[in-house]
Amino acid sequence: MNERDRAQGALVGARALTMALFPGTPDRPVWRPQKACGDTDPAVFDGGTAATREQARSICSGCPVQRQCATDQISWEQEVPARTRYLSGVVGGLTPADRWLIHHPDYQQRHNPVVSTLDSEAA
């Protein structure tokens, strides 16, 4: 895959994410006009690189409606069957990995025993 194809794929992914989050319907979230990302290129939120993920998270961290955005995204993802859920992009300051852990809260306890051991030693 060449650089042009990769860039085109990222753009398509960002547009799909934006359309999924903010469809052009009358029932758009009431918080949407207050979003800090309104003038930002949606490709930033695709999260294709560490730099764009950090840029997106930085924008989200100063957003007055970050919590509502993240909550709406998590709710939308929960409506999609887990086997077909495809987490992509930074939304509400949450990366796909962050959202995956929200959807699978027991994963970290089962697969990260070092953290739980360290926590018990610190107590």
| pTM (whole model) above 0.75 | no
Q: What is the pLDDT of residue 88?
A: 85
Strand, helix or coil at 10? helix
3: confidence class by pLDDT, cuts 50, 70, 90: low
- Of 13-17, 37-41, 63-67, 90-94, the least confident: 13-17
| Calpha distance 123→117 (Å, rounded) | 10
103 Cβ neighbours under 8 A, 6+ residues apart: 74, 77, 78, 82, 85
Q: Which amino acid is at 97?
A: A
| Calpha distance 90→21 (Å, rounded) | 11
What is the per-residue pLDDT across 52-82, written as a single tens digit (0 to 9) for each? 999 999 999 999 999 999 999 998 888 888 7
32: confidence class by pLDDT, cuts 50, 70, 90: confident
The full set of domain ranges for the chain reads 3-122
Cβ proximity of 117 and 105 under 8 Å: no
Residue that wins the pLDDT comparison between 115 and 23 = 23
Cβ proximity of 13 and 46 under 8 Å: yes
* Mean pLDDT for the chain overall: 77
In total, the chain counts a number of residues equal to 123
Other CB atoms within 10 Å distance of the CB of residue 21: 19
Q: Is 91 exposed, middle or buried (0-12, 13-18, 19+ CB in 10 A)?
A: buried
Torsion sign over Cα 10, 94, 101, 81: negative
